[in-house]
Amino acid sequence: MRVSLLCLLLACSSAPEPSFDRPAEEGEPTKAPTKAAGPTRPSVAEEEEAPRPAARTLPAPALGTAPKAPAIGQWVRYGVTYREGGRSTVEYRIVDREGDSWWLEITDRRRDRLREVRMRIRPQPDGTKELLALTFKNGRELEPVPTRLLGNYAPMLGQWLDTMLRTEVSGPQEDVTVAAGTFQGAFKGEQTMRFLQAEITADVWWHPEVPVTAMVKLVDRAEGGHNLELLGWGDSGAVSSF
């Protein structure tokens, strides 16, 4: 399975074309999350074509400020530039809650291709995340991964899952400006990620006001590497596309 897109928000993979592959076999449908309350947001394509609101300036957070707690309706949208010059728009949203776990969805649009994934994850006390359900969407067809096979996907998604629903961010603070605005005093850190045979070292900026991931910007240190920047975010309004 190629998971470069899923890993990209976590960091990036070295695969030239982000994509989702279908699960190995069909299984019983997972429970479909209900749609989050709030206004329906435009599609990724509509968002790209529509005028963007004025960029915001966020003040520097105090040291030790924790990221926002997860909540139904939160969403973040990123513009991603790949090593070979391609570009995609990736949106992450929280669409439902089930007990102590959360339903999250990812939509990736690159040129005319649309890829969507839904997963249910449970945060653990040590900061890791447990993968409880995973479903791919191809057109109108939903392809859930059988529970017995989730263990095969979890290691490949592990690093990406660790970036979701962060409980802390730290590092030296510096201002960073992206399409979504200027984030004063963002926490800057370094991450080294490994995906199959590829290894990537990236500079990452976080700000606690950004929901879901807290990530503002990611820059691959390799020349001509992947770059990711925040296009927009919201604390409400996300709805399920499944």
Q: What is the pLDDT of residue 171?
A: 94
Which residue ranges in the chain fall short of pLDDT 50? Answer: 1-51
Say how far apart CA 152 and CA 207 lie, in whole Å. 32
Q: Facing residues of 203 across strands?
A: 190, 219
Residue 29 inside a domain? The answer is no
In angstroms, how far is CA 133 from the centroid of its own chain?
16
pLDDT for 197: 61
Check residue 125 and give its pLDDT: 86
240 lies in a domain? no
* 239 occurs within a structural domain: no
Is position 30 within any domain? Answer: no
Q: Say how far apart CA 209 and CA 220 lie, in whole Å.
A: 23
Q: Are 183 and 58 in contact (CB under 8 A)?
A: yes
Give the Cα-Cα-Cα angle 160, 53, 205 (nearest 5 degrees): 35
Instruction: State which residues form the domain around 13.
Output: 4-24+37-48+56-234
pLDDT at residue 147 in the model: 94
Helix (H, G, I), strand (E, B) or coil at 163: helix
31 part of a folded domain? no
Q: What's the total number of domains in the chain?
A: 1
Residue 43 lies in a domain: yes
Q: What is the DSSP letter of 180?
A: T
Residue 32 is assigned to a structural domain of this protein: no
pLDDT in the model for residue 19: 37
Cα–chain center distance at 195: 16
pTM of the predicted model as reported, rounded to 2 decimal places: 0.78
Residue 126 corresponds to which tokens in the numbers above?
């040590």
Q: Residue 152: inside a domain, yes or no? A: yes
